[in-house]
Structure 1
C-alpha cells in the first residue's frame, strides 16, 4: 500500500513537471527553435528548390497574410514557419523578401514588423501611410469609427486611460458596453478582445487596485496605421478649436508625422 502511494506521488510530480507553463503560448515555444538562416544558408537552400517551387511557396505566404489581414490579425513568424513555410524554412528570408515585393508591386501594401521581439507582421496601405490618411477614420466602416473614437480619447488624455472613461464616453454616444448593440453586438467584447487581438489596443490590469481596474493604451498596429494629426483635426472640428491649442498633442503628432515622412523619403 505504501509503495503504491509512493509510486502515485512520483508519477503525479513528474507529470506536473512535464506540463508546459500556460503563460507561454505554444507558438512562441516553436518560434524559439527557429533561427533566422544566414545569407550563405539561404543560397545553399535555394539550390534544393526550383524557381517554380519558390514562387509557389511565396504565393502561399502572400495568401496566408491576406486571409489574416481581412480580420486585421497580425501574422506571427512562428505560425508562418509552422503552418506555411514548413520545409522551406532554410530560405525563409528569401520568401519573405519576395512576399514583401509582391505586396508592394501588386497590392500597394507594405509589410511591417510591429513586434521585433515576437516577430509579428501586419500589412498597411502604402498610399494611406504616405498621405497621412487614417484607414480607421472611415464612415463606411462603423466598427472602425468606434475604434477611432477610443484611440482619440486615449491620445488626448496622454496615452493611457482607465477603462471607465472609455465606457462613459461611449455611453454618451449611445453605445453602452453593458447592452447588445445592433451594429457592434457585444461592445465590451469587441473593444477588449477583438481590438486587442488586432493590436489596435492594449488592455491591462492596473496594479494594486481593489476592486480590480483596467486601462487602455494604443496597440502596436495603431501606432503604425493611425495618423495622430488626423485625430487632432477630428478633435478640432468636434470642439471647434484650432488643433494647435492642444500643445502637447500637437507636438507629439507632428513629431511622429515628420519622422514617418523622413523614413518614407529615405526608402525612396
Structure 2
C-alpha cells in the first residue's frame, strides 16, 4: 500500500521568515550590540582617521543634538550611533567628547546623560542653570512658565501630587485644563503628553483607584535641568518668607544642588 506524500509546507525553509517584534526590539538590539570602546581601542581607531574626519563627525553629532533639542526629546545612544556616528563607532567616546565641548563653548549647552542604564542624553542650558543667574528670572516661553508652575507645586508638596491638585492650581491661574487655552491650546494634552514625552514630568496611574486617578512627579529632564534652590527662592519672594522656613524643601534643594555640582564633570559617557 503506497503512502501519499504530504504537500510541502507553503512556508518552506527557503522562504524568509516574517520578522516579529517591530522596530522597538530592533532599537534595543542596536544598543545591546554597541559596546563602549576602551581607551586603547579609541586610540587605535584615531590612528586610522584624519583630524578633519573626527571634527566633521563631531559637528554632525552637534547638529543632531540641536535638531532633537528643538522638540526637547531625549537622544538615545543607539540612535546616535546608528544614524550619525555609523562606521566611526570605534572612536565614539572621542566624538562625543568633542561634541560636548562644542555644545558647551559655542552654544552654552551642557550634554547630560539623564539615564545611564538606557543611555539617554539631553541638553541643558548653562545660562538657565548658572548659580549666578537671578532666581526670579523665568523663561519667556509661555509653556516653560506653565511647566515651572507645575514643577513648583510638585516640589513644594513633597515630590509627588495627585493630578487634581495640579489642575486646581492651574484653574486659580485662569488656565482651565477642561477648556482650550489661547496660548497653550489643549492644556491637559500639553501637560500629560508633551511634558511627559520630554521627560520633564512623570504621570502615573495610582493603583486601586476608582474612578482612575493619576499623580505627577518630576521627570529625569527636570531633575537635571531645573534648580530646586531657585524654585525655593522664588517661592520665598512670592510669599514674602525666608526660604529656610520650608525646612524639608530647603534641605532637599541644597543637597541636590551640591550633588549635581559634584557630578557635573562625569555626566558624559
The equivalent of 2:111 in structure 1 is: 111
The equivalent of 1:20 in structure 2 is: 21
How many Å apart are 1:127 and its aligned residue? Answer: 3.9
Q: Measured at CA, do residues 212 and 75 of structure 1 come closer, stay the same or move farther in structure 2, by a change above 3 Å?
A: same
How many Å apart are 1:209 and its aligned residue? Answer: 2.0
Rounded to whole Å, the distance in 1 between the matches of 2:120 and 2:136 is 20
The equivalent of 2:203 in structure 1 is: 203
After TM superposition, the structure 1 stretch with the greater mean CA deviation from structure 2, 205-214 or 152-161, is 205-214
The equivalent of 1:61 in structure 2 is: 61
How many Å apart are 1:190 and its aligned residue? Answer: 0.9
The equivalent of 1:37 in structure 2 is: 37
The equivalent of 1:179 in structure 2 is: 179
Deviations 1:149-191 (A, max 9, x none): 0000100111111111111111111111121111011111111
Q: Measured at CA, do residues 21 and 266 of structure 1 come closer, stay the same or move farther in structure 2, by a change above 3 Å?
A: closer
Match status 1:126 vs 2:126:
yes
Rounded to whole Å, the distance in 2 between the matches of 1:209 and 1:186 is 25
2:135, 2:231 within 8 Å by CA — same for their partners in 1? no
Deviations 1:118-167 (A, max 9, x none): 10111223344331648995252111000000000100111111111111
Rounded to whole Å, the distance in 2 between the matches of 1:136 and 1:143 is 17
After TM superposition, the structure 1 stretch with the greater mean CA deviation from structure 2, 151-160 or 172-181, is 172-181
- Secondary structure, in 3 states, of the residue corresponding to 2:37? coil
2:135, 2:230 within 8 Å by CA — same for their partners in 1? no
The equivalent of 1:89 in structure 2 is: 89
Rounded to whole Å, the distance in 2 between the matches of 1:213 and 1:28 is 32
Rounded to whole Å, the distance in 2 between the matches of 1:168 and 1:132 is 33
TM-score, length-normalised on structure 2? Answer: 0.85
Q: Measured at CA, do residues 39 and 83 of structure 1 come closer, stay the same or move farther in structure 2, by a change above 3 Å?
A: same
Rounded to whole Å, the distance in 2 between the matches of 1:44 and 1:64 is 26
Q: Measured at CA, do residues 99 and 135 of structure 1 come closer, stay the same or move farther in structure 2, by a change above 3 Å?
A: farther
Rounded to whole Å, the distance in 2 between the matches of 1:122 and 1:197 is 13
After TM superposition, the structure 1 stretch with the greater mean CA deviation from structure 2, 160-169 or 99-108, is 99-108
Rounded to whole Å, the distance in 2 between the matches of 1:220 and 1:81 is 22
1:135, 1:225 within 8 Å by CA — same for their partners in 2? no
Rounded to whole Å, the distance in 1 between the matches of 2:94 and 2:264 is 23
Deviations 1:23-80 (A, max 9, x none): x564233211111111222222223322211111110000001111122221110110
Q: Which 5+ residue runs of structure 2 have no aligned equivalent?
A: 1-5, 11-16
The equivalent of 1:214 in structure 2 is: 214
The equivalent of 2:167 in structure 1 is: 167
Where in structure 1 do 4 or more consecutive aligned residues deviate above 6 Å?
Answer: none
- Secondary structure, in 3 states, of the residue corresponding to 2:68? helix
1:170, 1:176 within 8 Å by CA — same for their partners in 2? yes
Q: Which structure features the higher share of helix residues?
A: 1
Q: Which 5+ residue runs of structure 1 have no aligned equivalent?
A: 9-14
The equivalent of 1:102 in structure 2 is: 102
- Return the index of the structure with the highest Cα Rg: 2
User: Aligned-residue CA RMSD in angstroms?
Assistant: 3.1
Size of the alignment, in residue pairs? 260
The equivalent of 1:247 in structure 2 is: 247
Rounded to whole Å, the distance in 2 between the matches of 1:166 and 1:136 is 22
How many Å apart are 1:21 and its aligned residue? Answer: 7.3
